Amino acid sequence: MNTVALGRRRYGILLCLVTHKDLPVDHKMRAGEGTANATLVFLARNSDLSGVLSSMQHVENHFNKRFGYPWVFLNEEEFSLEFKSAVKEQTSATVSFGLIPKDHWYQPDWIDEERATQGRKEMAAANIIYADNVPYRNMCRFNSGFFFKHPLLQPYRYYWRVEPDIQYFCDVTYDPFDYLRDNNKTYGFTISFYEWEKTIPTLWATLKEFMDLHPQYIAPANAMSYLSDDGGETYNLCHFWSNFEIADMDFWRGEAYQKWGDAPVHSIAAALFMPKDQLHFFRDIGYRHGPFQHCPKGQDWNDGKCTCQSWDTLDYASQSCIPRYEKMFH
């Protein structure tokens, strides 16, 4: 292709990206300092608009106004024109809006709905949180097994998960996506604490069955000691709080996770299917999703010009699994 034709081709692509902002953007042509093949992912409804705009403002002000990574918004229903317009006003980066396929959101036809309904009723009677909230369960199903399969995310490798009504307290002056890539890291988190056992009565038994059937997927030097205090016989309930994730989607797209399916939380898969040194605690990113938060300390707090204080955290210290995580590396 000659130089003139190549110039016209690039101009045509650029024009398309500027005039059709619902399309994914080539990361190499993006404005800003970010160079990784990455995106900010936001699962939201039209009714979440206020919380969405607040979260976007935090992420843009503390990080993305400098790096210019694109946003991908996903919803099980079509986004309204009001939602799209308001969101685009919050960023100079490219924004894409996607509809979630029904088979990625709703449970399959082969599920015994009568039995499932009865199970939800029993959990509700036991005061288990979100027990009979079917939309919440659909959301968890999508995030566990399907989000990385959405067509709008196929051009990207790395993602940063964002949710409504979250807060960031510190300036992120480096690129976390570059950090993962350059340091052979796969999964990053900020908060880790104990799960409520009543919400996952069969999860560990299911995992043990899987490990017996497929021992080839369990990584050497994994993080089992973060999950279990007795070599995997029982689950100590520690998990990474997945409403904040900066991670490599190629891991979720890989054979081990796909073989495991959509049942597990990300934490167990990340802890067992990859070496522990591919996990990363973003201790310098101040983050809050009420009532829990992580506030950096010492030099990290100073460098990020953080506005949070450690005493703002609501009883998180007593529930934190961070000491267990850090013990693996000492």
Q: Which tens digits make up the pLDDT trace of 38-96?
A: 999 999 999 999 999 999 999 999 999 999 999 999 999 999 999 999 999 999 999 99
Q: Which residues are catalytic?
A: 245
Distance in angstroms (rounded) separating the CA atoms of residues 83 and 75: 11
Q: Which residues have CB under 8 Å from 157's CB, separation 6+? A: 36, 37, 38, 248, 249, 250
Q: Which two tokens stand for residue 62?
A: 């503390």
Predicted TM-score (pTM) of this structure: 0.87
pLDDT at 197: 87
Distance in angstroms (rounded) separating the CA atoms of residues 297 and 14: 43
DSSP summary character for residue 257: H
pLDDT, tens digit (0-9, with 9 covering 90-100), for 155-174? 999 999 999 999 999 999 99
- The number of beta carbons lying within 10 Å of the beta carbon of residue 26 is 14
